[in-house]
A and B are shown apart, each in its own frame.
Chain A
Amino acid sequence: QVQLVQSGAEVKRPGASVRVSCKTSGYTFTDYYLHWFRQAPGQGLQCMGWMNPGIADTNYAQKFQGRITMTWDTSISTAYMELTRLRSDDTAMYYCARDRVLTGHPEFDYWGQGTLVTVSS
């Protein structure tokens, strides 16, 4: 069965960087897009961008450009999202999610359990 398992909670100082991992299983990692989202406490879901390990492509939301990098390791079917120059308003739950279609109109059928990133001095 398809699973996306994310790394554990992180506490970071302002100005630091964080890397969240998303280990996938149950499907061919390179056949699907993977998207990243975040959700600040009590807030809605915000798109951060997507990656396609099969064609080595990424796309980042404008809000995060210059601070975000999505990478992957196909040998272990794992995706990574790194966010740099952290600020207190980056405190949020971060999610990875699989897009099950390749139509350009994504459908997010499987999600990671979330990784809480807390930015505090």
Chain B
Amino acid sequence: DIQMTQSPSSLSASVGDRVTITCRASQTLTKYLFWYQQKPGKAPRLLICNASTLESGVPSRFSGSGFGTDFTLTISSLQPEDFGTYYCQQSHSSPYIFGQGTKLEIK
């Protein structure tokens, strides 16, 4: 199975900050890396498809980059509603493993 490692596991940032979350795969995913946001008590929400394609309705302050084994999710200017846990997920091959998550808190 492909292993996914996210970092950091948690972070606290202020409104307006630029935030970066990284995800590393144990083998190449080519472009098949997805990012989700999950708020407490809610299902995950798809943010970024295929490493860098913004899902419809997702604010443009979110962006994704990377290819192969190393990927990044960036929030350019953090907003209060961006709190939650962010997960990367690989869709290269089954089982479609998720990273362990990054819990983002607003200072």
Contact = CB atoms under 8 A, between A and B. Distances in A.
B62 interface: no
Interface in A73-121: 95, 97, 105-109, 111-114
B36 to A, nearest CB: 8
Nearest to B49: A107
Nearest to B41: A114
A50 B34 CA distance: 18
B69 interface: no
A35 interface: yes
Contacts of B92: 105
B32 A45 contact: no
A61 B46 contact: no
Nearest to B100: A44
Contacts of A59: 94
Contacts of A40: none
A114 to B, nearest CB: 6
B5 to A, nearest CB: 12
B71 interface: no
B80 to A, nearest CB: 23
Contact of A44 (B34, B43, B49, B99): B99
B85 to A, nearest CB: 8
A113 B38 CA distance: 12
Contacts of B55: 109
Interface of B: 32, 34, 36, 42-46, 49, 55, 87, 89, 91-92, 94-101
